[in-house]
A = this chain, B = another copy of it.
Amino acid sequence: MPGVPPTRFVFLGPEATFTEQALRTIPAAERGIRTPMRSVPEALDAVRGGDADAALVPLENSIGGAVGVTLDEMIDGAPLVITREVVIPVEFVLGTRAGVSLDRIQTVAAHPQASTQCRGWLQAHLPAATVVDVLSNSTAAIAAAEGEYDAAICAPIGATRYKLSVLADKIADHSDAVTRFVLVTRPGPPPEPTGDDVTSLAVFISHDRVGALLAVLMELAVRGVNLTRIESRPTGEQLGRYAFFLDCSGHVADGRLGEALQGLRRVCAEVRFLGSYPRHRWATESDRPVPAPAGLSDVDYADAAAWLARLRAGDLA
């Protein structure tokens, strides 16, 4: 129901991974019901089917790139919208049972992506240890907690949940790596504009239009709308059309983004609106709205519309 905050949350499981950690930064989710799902499609279907109010799923990873399945699933089936983004640092820890010291570790359980991201640290600190692939970060934590392996690479929440000692934290090679999650709900009025918002879109372009992507970007550029993310989708070519996922600065309620959306609607084969929501801001960031470029604020749009109305009426005074 529009206006009623969600209470039943699903997230990409298993529990005690970065996704749960991200979900718990949302106050309503911290108070509500949180259910892990086996896959992104199942999480989204739970929302579509009304079994959940909202799903938190990963959208992109600063190391591994886009998590394409989320977007593919969003545009495949009944409409869903993003109402919030959560960005958290990917801070892996090395967890062990109490009393295990670094020099005694011979086996380390880790999800393959996790061990890849901590490769430098492992070579420096555990060059002799055997890394064993497991299916998730929380599987790794459980296996270490149960003594199956000597240690686990996992999320901080995994170490806490399974009562592991953290022998080392922030062990990822890229210390600034982040993962971006989105909270997805059934369609409804978008969150209020904050002055620093993101709008996500999927646009489809007919195959035979030369310079089609340039045309899309011009629709945005002419209205001063910045792209913060773009990703082409590879199936396009075979299906006779190209698809792009775009994140734009601005809110569907803004004058300039509204006009840009109308422009895309006219030039693209199809435009799927995937939501307008506040841009994630770090605690160290200002909360101030981002001013529109000169001539592109809502006031400028209103002024130009009033001027056009006068011209059409023959009033040039």
Contact = CB atoms under 8 A, between A and B. Distances in A.
Interface string A221-248: 1100011111111110111000010000
A187 B317 contact: yes
Contacts of A301: 262, 266
A253 B37 CA distance: 50
A253 to B, nearest CB: 6
Interface of A: 2, 38-41, 60-69, 71-72, 79, 81, 112-113, 115-116, 119, 133-135, 174, 176-178, 180, 187-190, 210-211, 213-214, 217-219, 221-222, 226-235, 237-239, 244, 252-253, 258-259, 261-263, 265-267, 273, 293, 295-296, 300-301, 303-305, 307-308, 311-317
Contacts of A263: 222, 304
A123 to B, nearest CB: 11
Contact of A314 (B62, B178, B189): B189
Contacts of A238: 62, 176, 178
A231 to B, nearest CB: 5
A61 B67 CA distance: 11
A183 B238 CA distance: 22
B65 A68 contact: yes
Contact of A296 (B239, B266, B295): B266
Nearest to A131: B38
A266 B316 contact: no
A119 to B, nearest CB: 6
List the 9 closest A-B pairs by CB distance, nearest first: A65-B68, A189-B314, A262-B304, A266-B295, A187-B316, A79-B316, A265-B304, A188-B314, A62-B235
Given A188-B314, A222-B263, A266-B301, A232 B239 contact: no
A251 to B, nearest CB: 10
Contacts of A2: 314
A244 to B, nearest CB: 8
Contacts of A266: 295-296, 300-301, 304
Given A68-B65, A218-B218, A60 B234 contact: yes
Contacts of A232: 227-231
26 contacts: A39-B116, A62-B234, A63-B68, A64-B69, A65-B65, A65-B69, A65-B231, A69-B113, A79-B316, A81-B314, A176-B235, A180-B234, A187-B317, A190-B314, A211-B221, A214-B217, A214-B221, A218-B218, A228-B232, A229-B234, A230-B231, A231-B232, A253-B312, A262-B308, A265-B308, A273-B316
Contacts of A81: 314, 316
Contacts of A61: 68, 234
Contacts of A69: 63-65, 113, 116
A259 B219 CA distance: 12
Contacts of A68: 61, 63-66
